[in-house]
Amino acid sequence: MHMRLSLSLTLLFTLVVLVAGRPMKQKSKKHAPPRSYKKTHGFVDPKQIINLGISLTPADRAGLEERTNAVSTPGNALYGKHLSTKEIKTFAAPKQDTVDAVNAWLQESGVNSTTTGGAFDDWLNFNITVEAANALLNATFEPFVHVDSGSTTLRTLAYSLPVDMSDHIRFVHPTTSFVKPLNFRPVMSTPLIPKRQLSGECTTQVTPACLQKLYGIPSTPASQNSSQLGVPGYIEQFAQVGSDLALFLQALRPDIDPNTLFGLETLDGGVNTQDPGLAGVEANLDIQYTVGLATGVPTVFISVGEDNQDGLGGFLDIATFLIGQEAPPTVLTTSYGFDEDALEPDAAVMLCDAYMQLSARGVSLLFASGDGGVAGSQPQECTQFLTTFPATCPYLTAVGATTGGVSPETAANFSTGGFSNVFPRPAYQNDAVSAYLDAIGTQNDGLFNASGRAIPDVSAQGQNLVIVAAGEGMLVDGTSASSPIFATGSGGRSPLGFLNPFLYGNPGMFFDVLSGHNPGCGTAGFPAVQGWDAVTGLGTPNFAAMLTAAGL
């Protein structure tokens, strides 16, 4: 009897505590940090101030998704009728009762000062001590070190939210996300090469002329002056305006004025330093193969600095920056990302929603798929296949890599491809991916999520690309070369917006890649086969066929 009474009192006491302090439900939990981080045992000052952000639930995400699909799908009555920022706000901004409810909870918990952020005031940011954050979220913030850089950050492996906040809060950040953005940095495959050693052989040195011949990229200036190519730069990658671009054009596109310039926009303290000693291989690659291939299409370099406040390396900041522009670039090619499991799923969905908003504005988004084969962003030890993000977001086009320089092309063995563990397979790729899974049968069973969003969508040359950096020529490899190459075919015409429904609906406008694979995790990876595959996607671009399919 005494034991039963004690148990009843314990349950009653627990219930009272939960009611008084709001019932809590676990929102996110990781059993361990990602492979690139390790837990340390350093002291954490409980009074240390950290900054947290709350992502607020949008008013009508489903409605925006439906509208984005409509304006992006050929044959739909709304196809091509992209939305304004004001129209997107009606879907993406939080409802006032959401803002009021979250602010009331924070104030009751002792958080009296917040600031709003995001394109539509859909973030609440606040400073809080570590001990208060632990109490607020039932969390344990502790130090973790990034193995490669040695930088230390405070994160928790789990946190909870009040049950009555579930309809108002998407997630709290940064909590269980471990983001260290990487560019899929091109590998310098040969020593610096002087101009006299340019062979003209596309099998060993891929140049703009090789790509024009291989893919049918026109050399005549674009006829559509309203289009613009955007090239983001992160982690202090600087694109050289004068010497490097001029030398590249003189040597490899002599029909273009070597004094051709590109625009510059900056955020988060970004700059574009012109010291030749600070020339960025990635930034130069991206600029040289957009300016040097999309003849006459205005190009803008968007430098994202290190003073970002989004906890996502500036990825959300640039999306917010562009969503609010009256005339954002019509095409944006990005050569940066990270392993998909570095980000908590709710954060990945939120950032993907920002890309959906940009797509609805009419921006065509292209991202390099990564350089680790089935091991993710870069080669690494693994027991399960990994993919990369943002490439797995279903509202952008992921670009893999091929090699060879001439037809027929072969899949580059570093081309990251596979299946998302966060995003389900979108309808536009159902037929293509189902056919591939049937073709490979039981190969790699149990190593990937067959129902996930599949990448890459397309591919382009990504090995032995000739660039100029710090006044010298060099050859580079990487899907970071492939994305800007493919992007040139989307510039120079009226905005197409989100490309994938158009691409998957017209598989005949690609050169199919039938050989190669992308090894990793102790396996041969996925094979390239007829039709879509998880190494090269639908294939490489036949620009003449693409123009015809687009009615141009």
Would you put residue 319 in left (φ > 0), alpha (ψ -120 to 50) or beta?
alpha
Which of 265, 268, 286, 341 is catalytic? The answer is 286
Angle subtended by helix axes 61-72 and 85-92, to nearest 10? 140
- Tell me, what DSSP letter sits at residue 80? T
* Integer Cα distance of 241 and 532 in angstroms: 38
Cα(380)–Cα(382) distance, integer angstroms: 6
Residues 6+ apart with CB under 8 A from 157: 29, 30, 31, 32, 33, 140, 176
Catalytic annotation, pick one of 122, 244, 265, 282: 282
Q: Rg of the chain over CA atoms, in angstroms?
A: 24
Beta-bridge partner residues of 54: 124, 172
Query: Tokens for 204?
Result: 């060993």
**DSSP assignment of 155-219, as one string?**
E-SEEEEEGGGTTTEEEEESSS-----EE-PPEE-S--B-GGG----TTT-B-HHHHHHHH----
Tokens of residue 357, six digits: 């908003």
Alpha carbon distance 202, 62 (integer Å):
47
Contact 168, 56 (CB under 8 A): yes
Specify whether 227 is catalytic: no
Burial of 30: CB neighbours in 10 Å, binned 0-12, 13-18, 19+: middle
Among residues 177, 480, 482, 483, the one annotated as catalytic is: 480
Joined tokens for residue 248: 């590249």
Active site residue 282: yes
Q: Name 13's Cβ contacts closer than 8 Å, sequence gap at least 6.
A: none
How is the beta sheet containing 336-339 ordered, strand by strand?
182-183, 336-339, 388-389
d(CA 76, CA 92): 23
Cα gap 144→333, rounded to integer Å: 32
d(CA 483, CA 481): 6
93-96: Cβ within 8 A, 24+ apart: 93/58, 93/59, 93/120, 93/121, 93/122, 94/56, 94/57, 94/58, 94/59, 94/120, 94/121, 94/122, 94/168, 95/57, 95/59
Query: For the residues of 402-471, what is the DSSP string, one character each?
Result: EESSSSSPEE-TT---EEEEEEEPPGGGHHHHHHHHHHHTTTTTTSS-TTEEEE-SEEEE-SSEEEEETT
Q: How distant is the alpha carbon of residue 66 from its chain centre?
A: 22
| Contact between 442 and 482 (Cβ < 8 Å) | no
Q: Each residue of 349-362: b (16+ CB within 10 Å) or e?
A: bbbbbbbbbbbbbb
Say how far apart CA 441 and CA 461 lie, in whole Å.
Answer: 28
Enzyme catalytic residues: 282, 286, 480
